[in-house]
Amino acid sequence: MAETERLRIRPYVLADAPFILTLLNTPSWLIFIGDRGVSTIEEAETYIVDNALMSYDQYGLGPYIVELKETCIPIGHCGLHKRPALDDIDIGFAFMPEHTGNGYGYESASALVAYAQNTLGLTRLTGITKPANNRSIRLLEKLGMRFEKQILFGTGAAESLLFGMTLPVRPY
């Protein structure tokens, strides 16, 4: 799907279920994204089918596994999401705690912004985050996004911040 100097960004596969089970139950995922009710490998497989694989089929985009190129070890998730409550495609990311603070979020998200612009032809992207998620706010701003408004989003319609950016149209 995409590669950077250190990372490979690829679609989810069912074999990712053990990693997804772990990622979705990290403290930062539970606090800032929300409990997805995934507590077994089987539930992780269902999550992959119902979210990632369905999104690829329906929209041609979705969440992607971020792995280290040298070792093929998955370290996180970065994706382009079509969310019914939003007008534009949303970029999202989450990493295992031991892999935060190494620039992987910016590296993978930058690659997906380029993919969205150059391959998918998108002219706008958004990002949503909880007000207390300072790391995500900084990353969205570093990508070039600007705060637009507060919205109610997600499980329980929690207060979230909507960031957005316009992508220049590429001449062909």
Can you give the pTM of this predicted structure? 0.92
User: Mean pLDDT throughout 4-10?
Assistant: 97
Which residue ranges form the domains of the chain, and what is each CATH number?
Answer: 2-166 (3.40.630.30)
The phi-psi region of residue 88 (left if phi > 0; otherwise alpha if psi is between -120 and 50; otherwise beta) is beta
Using one digit for the tens of pLDDT, what is the confidence trace for 113-137?
999 999 999 999 999 999 999 999 9
